[in-house]
Structure 1
């Protein structure tokens, strides 16, 4: 495409790696539209219901500090161009580019599957994090309320739940989160990679504004719900200069802690991100890509556990030290709480209260 796609992160379609046979389909009508300068693509988002047999996923990665995750949606309309979850859309037959943002799979049976997991005799009440892969508060949640229905299940069972999101829509569910937080069974992680609205609109076009996300941090914190701000990812020469001011803004809003990850462009994301850079920031693209590679032994990604999220080399170490300094300066000795499952266990097995 000669001009950027407005309102999208990815700027191109990506071939699915799992396709057995490559084939080319020519559509004379679409080609005629393009030749005549007309818009051949309406850029609408499509939603498709799917009915998986399970909903809660065990996390085995040593780099991810959670045991279980659950995703009400696959694909994400937020359109974050660097998102690691883009590759997973290929498992559903789509591409990692604009398909990831345009074709959203929704799981209407997620709340029932969640309750089935929680009611199982073998379930021990480990914290489940919503949005381990894609955002549970992306735009369609306002209409479908699948995430809210899942929170109603957590609330009924007094089950510990964590949330990761870039959307201020999480404030809608304070009535469910606050009572859980009172028994140390709910926490929210809000991702804020930049304070610059122009950068935000380019990198993650359909997320909540930075102002609204900071307001969400403040409102949740005042309601007694612990909030961690994630500066994720840090991209050298794009937002790496914002570590200290972002940490101050997060602290001023009431966040308890700040963590970061370093960008890594695994799989098809390297192609998606490179194409996006060349079309949106052509004067900076070569430098940004070079600096990213310098953090991953000369490559755009690193799959080795233990360093893939933090990078290696002098620049990665400098970024990590700056984040450490920001935490010490603005958060002091503040620590994020470990969620408590004792209320769930008591509710599930009332006899445990006798001991």
Structure 2
């Protein structure tokens, strides 16, 4: 049986992107005469029939929003998508949701796929909101989008987030106040998360303000299991002068690290205090409850959609909006243990 011809098939035959085929078919953006000719030749050769939705987009905006998140397994993103969906539904829109699996190289691919579906706008979380060819592409094409969780320093990029650096400092200050002086920052990969980098900057600032030397960061794959995390920590926690507290860049990493530390025969928080970041619900259910920074994740998603509609209507501000966060002490941090 012959395989169905899709817009991706046409793009491959024409030697261009899916987004370019979409622009040619829908008449929604400039392309060179040569590229347009290649696209139309491919359409003819393949007998490609554009969808009715695509043809309607010549004059109408679809009632679909594209959502790009790093992970479908991290509950912090599920919460924000719930907020995005609620606000979109209230405005008569539906979502197309996709994930990059924390791979920056996939961002362009998934965004082009959504553009090919003629989404009205996008809500995204990317690896790096400043040095990002995908966002440059959206800017150049005039495609409205709002970042969520990301905290760009670059002007004219709309985002809804918390002050990650300030929150990282708040966690560290809480541990310093309990007498900890050897505090290690355990991070998700910096290359895949600007949030992790900013939280680490907050940690460093708080340590330096307290007259303490920041430890070299330990970067881990947060999707790794407790065995992998235990192996990474073995040399650090088994040595004299080991850290007495760990600040983790997200809650899932903190929960896995907690299991790894206990498997090593250390008590949490008796021997090692552990703090996370995100405020996911499961952190309340473990014993002791996880110390974390609680972000208003659902509200962040709702607010991103509110701002996206402002942009689509031509009057939204392209700026970073910080929502409040708060420290949730939990039971995984305690007074620093006495030197042995």
Q: Does the pair score TM above 0.5?
A: no
TM-score range, shorter chain: 0.3 to 0.5
Task: State the TM-score, normalized to the length of structure 1.
Answer: 0.32
Task: State the TM-score, normalized to the length of structure 2.
Answer: 0.33
Bigger CA radius of gyration: 2
